[in-house]
């Protein structure tokens, strides 16, 4: 009987690619713990398995008095044979449990070695099962991933990687990004049920998912000609992506949007209708902040680098668009640029700054660019509604080419001498 069990163990080791000596050592340790409890041995037990015939021997351990070290621990033991008659039945039960544990741990170690270096990569999977707390996604045969969406009010240490409003059906195709691979040999305290859950954790809310989707759809990003500088996202609602081109002849925004919006539309479709704004990155923080508030039009941006503050002035009719619904547009722009953004309309800004003296050094301005060779200035024409012309004046004149001849004869037209009143 013992020989038959040994033959079965060796055959199973070959089938599951498990080291035979490693399995026998694990089995001896497990049996030693069990027999110490069954036989009520105070100092524990030692179990050996004959490698040739599979016979099991159980020894009672008794410490030798003269072997105690300086720390009070015994280093030598006397072994007394206390092998029970029926050892095969207990050994078979332990062998089954140990083999299952070894096979499971070996598979997790192989998955960890393969996927631990792929964190941030996108995967294509099929939904196998969806519960209120997580969704199991099959990556390939024998490899599964977990997309957690726990209620964090109940489970503070768990994650929620599902965008708001998304639901998954059985056999549904799904794209997600790998954010974690659980190490089976980690000594850290595992979260609830971690050992029985898939070792790979994927996310549909991580900003890296948008970057990977654009890499799939935009060859210029995949090749490195267009660079994704920053991403700000509110999963399931809206995202902003800042891009720049390493080739001056290439429009990075147009490359990401694609012909008739085909490329960005594919990304939006994969994100289940999440709105994606692609904006142009700029080294000038004033221009970058103004671009980030798109689609709102910006009149002027004042930068305070010491306080990391950006004061933005927009036309009165653009204020709500710049702030966005429940502040979403301004919030995403602040995350995207890393600047604290304060938005005011022109009327309010004029009232606040009316009595503020002009600083010696002009603030950075989105509209004005100093040039020693050209004397540039805004047109002084103001219409009946009090809105000043945004064009530059012609050389030698205070007005642009449109208003240079009309302003003197047009009733109701005003000329503003103090530019500070218009911010």
The token pair that represents 120 in the structure block: 């941030």
Q: 332 and 301 in contact (C-beta within 8 Å)?
A: no
Domain-located, residue 383: yes
Same domain? For 19 and 106 the reply is: yes
Task: Determine the distance from the C-alpha atom of residue 94 to the mean position of all C-alpha atoms in its chain, rounded to a whole number.
Answer: 42
Q: Give the residue from 249, 268, 270, 271 showing the smallest Cα distance to 257.
A: 268
pTM above 0.75, yes or no: no
Same domain? For 326 and 348 the reply is: yes
The CATH number that applies at residue 349 is 3.30.300.20
Q: Give the residue from 333, 282, 335 showing the smallest Cα distance to 312.
A: 333
Same domain? For 11 and 29 the reply is: yes
Same domain? For 108 and 128 the reply is: no
Same domain? For 60 and 72 the reply is: yes
Question: Sign of the C-alpha dihedral, residues 158, 162, 164, 166?
Answer: negative
Domain-located, residue 191: no
User: What distance in Å separates the CA atoms of residue 41 and residue 197, rounded to the nearest whole number?
Assistant: 36
The CA–CA distances, whole Å, from 10 to 13, 27, 54, 99 equal 5, 13, 11, 11
**Per-residue model confidence as pLDDT tens digits over 223-233:** 999 999 999 99
User: What distance in Å separates the CA atoms of residue 406 and residue 402, rounded to the nearest whole number?
Assistant: 8
Domain range spanning residue 344?
282-367
User: Residue 241, SS3?
Assistant: strand
Domain-located, residue 189: no
Same domain? For 274 and 344 the reply is: no
The CATH number that applies at residue 44 is 3.30.1480.10
User: What distance in Å separates the CA atoms of residue 306 and residue 387, rounded to the nearest whole number?
Assistant: 32
User: What distance in Å separates the CA atoms of residue 362 and residue 190, rounded to the nearest whole number?
Assistant: 57
Per-residue pLDDT of the chain (423 residues; tens, 9 = 90+): 456 667 777 787 777 677 788 778 888 888 888 888 888 888 888 888 887 777 888 888 888 877 677 676 777 888 888 888 776 667 667 767 777 777 777 778 888 888 989 999 999 999 999 988 899 999 988 889 999 998 888 888 888 999 988 999 999 999 999 999 988 877 665 555 556 688 899 999 999 999 999 999 999 999 999 999 999 999 999 999 999 999 989 999 999 999 999 999 999 999 999 999 999 999 999 999 999 999 999 999 999 999 999 999 999 999 999 999 999 999 999 999 999 999 998 888 887 766 655 554 444 444 444 444 444 577 777 777 667 777 777 777 777 766 765 554 444 444 444 444 434
Name the domain count of the chain: 5
Domain-located, residue 176: yes
* pLDDT at position 164: 87
Same domain? For 139 and 221 the reply is: no
The widest CA-to-CA distance across the chain, in whole angstroms, is 120
Q: What is the DSSP string of 42-66?
A: TT-EEEEE-TTT--EEEEEEEE-GG
**Crossing angle of the two packed helices 88-115 and 2-16, in degrees rounded to 10:** 10
Q: 36 and 44 in contact (C-beta within 8 Å)?
A: yes
Same domain? For 94 and 34 the reply is: yes
The HSE-up count of residue 272 (CA atoms within 13 Å, CB side) is 17
Q: 331 and 324 in contact (C-beta within 8 Å)?
A: yes
Domain-located, residue 190: no
Domain-located, residue 192: no
The token pair that represents 393 in the structure block: 């004046």
Same domain? For 108 and 12 the reply is: yes
Of 244, 260, 281, which one is at a domain's C-terminal end? 281
User: What distance in Å separates the CA atoms of residue 27 and residue 36, rounded to the nearest whole number?
Assistant: 14
Task: Determine the distance from the C-alpha atom of residue 390 to the mean position of all C-alpha atoms in its chain, rounded to a whole number.
Answer: 42
Task: Name the DSSP class of 396.
Answer: T
Domain-located, residue 60: yes
Domain-located, residue 210: no
């Amino acid at each position: 009987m013992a020989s038959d069990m040994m033959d079965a163990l060796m055959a199973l080791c070959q089938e599951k690619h498990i080291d035979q000596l490693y399995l026998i050592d694990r089995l001896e340790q497990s049996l030693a713990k069990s027999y110490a409890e069954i036989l009520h041995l105070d100092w524990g037990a030692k179990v050996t398995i004959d490698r040739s015939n599979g016979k099991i021997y159980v020894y009672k351990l008794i410490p030798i008095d003269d072997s105690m070290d300086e720390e009070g621990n015994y280093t030598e033991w006397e072994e007394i044979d206390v092998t029970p008659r029926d050892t095969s039945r207990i050994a078979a039960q332990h062998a089954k449990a140990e083999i299952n544990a070894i096979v499971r741990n070996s598979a997790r170690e192989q998955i960890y070695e393969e996927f631990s270096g792929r964190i941030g990569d996108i995967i294509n999977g099929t939904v196998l099962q969806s519960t209120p707390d997580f969704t199991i996604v099959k990556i390939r045969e024998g490899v599964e991933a977990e997309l957690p969406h726990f209620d964090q009010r109940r489970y503070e240490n768990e994650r929620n990687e599902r965008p708001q409003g998304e639901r998954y059906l059985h056999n549904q195709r799904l794209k997600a990004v790998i954010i974690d691979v659980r190490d089976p040999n980690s000594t850290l305290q595992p979260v609830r049920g971690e050992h029985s859950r898939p070792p790979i954790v994927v996310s549909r809310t991580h900003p890296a998912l948008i970057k990977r989707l654009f890499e799939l759809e935009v060859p210029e990003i995949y090749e490195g000609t267009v660079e994704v500088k920053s991403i700000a996202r509110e999963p399931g609602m809206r995202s902003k992506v800042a891009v720049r081109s390493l080739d001056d002849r290439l429009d990075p925004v147009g490359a990401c949007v694609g012909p008739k919006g085909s490329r960005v539309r594919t990304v939006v479709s994969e994100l289940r209708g999440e709105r994606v704004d692609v904006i142009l990155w700029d080294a000038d923080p004033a221009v970058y902040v103004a671009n980030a508030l798109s689609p709102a039009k910006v009149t002027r941006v004042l930068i305070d680098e010491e306080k990391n503050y950006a004061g933005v002035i927009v036309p009165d009719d653009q204020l709500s668009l710049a702030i966005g619904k429940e502040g979403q547009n301004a919030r995403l722009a602040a995350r995207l640029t890393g600047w604290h953004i304060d938005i005011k309309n022109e009327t309010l800004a004029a009232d606040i700054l009316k009595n503020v003296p002009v600083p010696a050094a002009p603030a950075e301005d989105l509209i004005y660019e100093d040039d020693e060779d050209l004397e540039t200035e805004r047109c002084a024409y103001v219409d009946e509604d009090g809105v000043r012309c945004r064009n530059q004046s012609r050389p030698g004149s205070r007005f642009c080419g449109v208003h240079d001849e009309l302003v003197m004869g047009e009733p109701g037209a005003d000329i503003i001498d103090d530019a500070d009143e218009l911010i």
